[in-house]
Chain A
Amino acid sequence: MVFLSIVNYVRARGPDEIWRKRRIFKLAAHYIGRRRNCYSVAVRNVHRALVYATKARKLKKEDMKELWDTRITSACEQHNITRFSLKEGLERANIALDRKSLSDLACWEPRTFECLAAVAKQKLELDGFVDGVDKKHPTGVNLNLKDVMLDAWLKERKN
Chain B
Amino acid sequence: MSAAKRVQQWATFARTWHVFDCKWQDPYESAHVIKKYLMGLHKPIYHPMNDCGDVVVCINSKDIALRGNEWRKRAYFHHTGYPGGASWTLAWELHNKDPTMIIKKAVYRSMTGNLQRRHTMQRLFIYPEDKVPEDVMQNVTNQIRQIRLVPTRLDHIPEEEVKNFPKIMDYPEDYVLK
Q: Do chains A and B interact in one complex? A: yes
Interface residues of A (CB under 8 A from B): 67, 70-72, 74-75, 77-78, 103, 106-110, 113
On B, residues with C-beta under 8 Å from A are 7, 9, 41-48
| Inter-subunit contact A75/B47 (CB<8 Å) | no
Contacting pair B46 A71 (CB below 8 A): yes
Residues of chain B within 8 A (CB-CB) of A70 are 41, 46
Q: How many A-B pairs with Cβ below 8 Å?
A: 27
Q: Are B41 and A67 in contact (CB under 8 A)?
A: no
Nearest CB of chain B from residue A33's CB, rounded to whole Å: 25
State in angstroms the CA–CA spacing of A75 and B44 once bound together: 5
Q: Looking at chain B's contact residues, is the secondary structure mostly helix, strand, loop, or mixed?
A: loop
CB distance from B45 to the nearest CB of A (A): 6
Pick from B7, B41, B43, B47: contact of A109, CB below 8 A: B7
Residues of A within 8 A of B43 (CB): 74
Q: Which residues of B contact A75 (CB under 8 A)?
A: 44
Task: Label chain A's interface by main secondary structure.
Answer: helix
A-side contacts of B48, CB under 8 Å: 67
* A–B Cβ pairs within 8 angstroms, 24 of them: A67-B46, A67-B47, A67-B48, A70-B41, A71-B44, A71-B45, A71-B46, A72-B44, A74-B41, A74-B42, A74-B43, A74-B46, A75-B44, A77-B42, A78-B42, A78-B44, A103-B44, A106-B44, A107-B44, A107-B45, A108-B7, A109-B7, A110-B44, A113-B44
The residue in chain B whose Cβ has the minimal distance to the Cβ of A70 is B46
How far apart sit A107 and B9, CA to CA, in the bound complex (Å)? 10
How far is B46's CA from A106's CA once the two chains are assembled, in angstroms? 11
B3 CB to nearest chain A CB (Å)? 11
Beyond the given A71-B46, A74-B41, please list 13 additional residue pairs across the A-B interface where CB-CB is below 8 A.
Answer: A70-B41, A71-B44, A71-B45, A72-B44, A74-B42, A75-B44, A77-B42, A107-B44, A107-B45, A109-B7, A110-B9, A110-B44, A113-B44
The answer for the CA separation of A70 and B44 in the assembled complex, in Å, is: 8
CB distance from A45 to the nearest CB of B (A): 25
